[in-house]
Amino acid sequence: MADSSIKSLSDLLAEGVEGRGVLVRSDLNVPLDDEGHITDPGRILASVPTLKALSDAGAKVVVVAHLGRPKGGPEPKFSLAPVAAALGEQLGRHVQLAGDVVGSDALARAEGLTDGDVLMLENVRFEKRETSKDDAERLSLAKALAELVGEDGAFVSDGFGVVHRKQASVYDVATLLPHYAGTLVATEVKVLEQLTSSTERPYAVVLGGSKVSDKLGVIENLATKADSIVIGGGMCFTFLAAQGLSVGTSLLQPEMIDTCKKLLEDYGDVIHLPVDIVVAAEFAADSPPQTVPADKIPEDKMGLDIGPESVKRFTALLSNARTVFWNGPMGVFEFPEYAAGTKGVAEAVIGATSKGAFSVVGGGDSAAAVRQLGLPDDGFSHISTGGGASLEYLEGKKLPGIDILTNS
């Protein structure tokens, strides 16, 4: 999928960008608290190398990004204003924010850019055409975006978290402009290729999160490739139910029980489930925890984390791994009383990495957990910025935003 015919940022810089407009699709979809403050700047930091290289080389940089899920129109709470300010701090230069996406303000600001300037467009998902299923609608927005960088403009795809989406600023704009993979996208694809094609064994996969349905494709695809698949988080309860166990009031996908039964029948030697669970009476940070065996979950309690014995067993499985892919927390790590499972497994991955294993954290909640639990980023070989894109790649799906870059 990461075809060698994909042109890189270094190719673009070699061609020369001074005085040229360069449209960059970044992934700046960072989490905000209720006051609108950024709680995890990971994606902003990851976008800096590409944007700084272009700005330093004299390009007129126009950044396209989204934030949250606005419902097809401008919503003040999803404005990129705090992101533009934070990005400016990291770049050490002022980042203008247009008041619209491709309207009069964006156009005027783009025309006024001088060499090295950085302009951020307002949240691209304020435009319904961005996510339209209608090819013509998406293309019309892509044309308006391309116009912002002029006839000798270029497009750099650097938002790995969105390359699995066929959207105007990800896919269609690459059909209109010379296109290149940014530093972030090139790195992510190289890492995922290593996970799928040149994997050193033993290969361990750690999957958490709430729903089996979200990870089903990855489980099916990796069960034949991995030596062990460790399952925790809310999704483990559907597997436990498939073994005929009661899971109390824990998160459950009844429609997936038969699928889980089949997976356990086919890959029971590869799939490993928790042996103990930390339960609570209700989903609340102050609900008192109680650790019980996985086959003795009380009817009136819900599982919110894997227990210490499970962490021990999973750590043993991971200790000799040479390759580890981790996606999804083991429990409700946002609640301190229910974070031990996620922290324990994360520390096991760090331990394997310190002994030479190649470890990849698959973005999303896993990356957030690493930072919230105070674990070192450099304890892992790579922390992905795109949870969904990573999973779809490992499922063997084509990623539209990568495929289009191979078409020159």
Residues annotated catalytic, as ranges: 43, 211, 364, 388
Q: Which residue in this structure is represented by tokens 């089949």? A: 262
Consult the annotation and say whether 251 binds a ligand. Answer: no
Residues with Cβ within 8 Å of 369's Cβ and at least 6 positions away in sequence, in order, are 329, 333, 339, 342, 346, 375
Q: Whose CA is closest to 32, among 94, 77, 98, 65? A: 77
Consult the annotation and say whether 88 binds a ligand. Answer: no
Consult the annotation and say whether 165 binds a ligand. Answer: yes
Consult the annotation and say whether 322 binds a ligand. Answer: no
Consult the annotation and say whether 43 binds a ligand. Answer: yes
Consult the annotation and say whether 29 binds a ligand. Answer: yes
Consult the annotation and say whether 334 binds a ligand. Answer: yes
Consult the annotation and say whether 215 binds a ligand. Answer: yes
Tokens representing 138 are 């998406």
Angle at 42 between CA 375 and CA 35, to 5 degrees: 105
How far is it, in rounded angstroms, from Cα 205 to Cα 218? 10
How far is it, in rounded angstroms, from Cα 45 to Cα 50? 10
Consult the annotation and say whether 109 binds a ligand. Answer: no
Consult the annotation and say whether 67 binds a ligand. Answer: yes
Q: Which residue in this structure is represented by tokens 């791994």? A: 321
Consult the annotation and say whether 125 binds a ligand. Answer: yes
Consult the annotation and say whether 66 binds a ligand. Answer: yes
Residues of each annotated binding site for ATP: 215, 303, 334, 363-366
Residues of each annotated binding site for substrate: 27-29, 43, 66-69, 125, 165
Residues of each annotated binding site for (2R)-3-phosphoglycerate: 43, 125, 165
Residues of each annotated binding site: 27-29, 43, 66-69, 125, 165, 215, 303, 334, 363-366
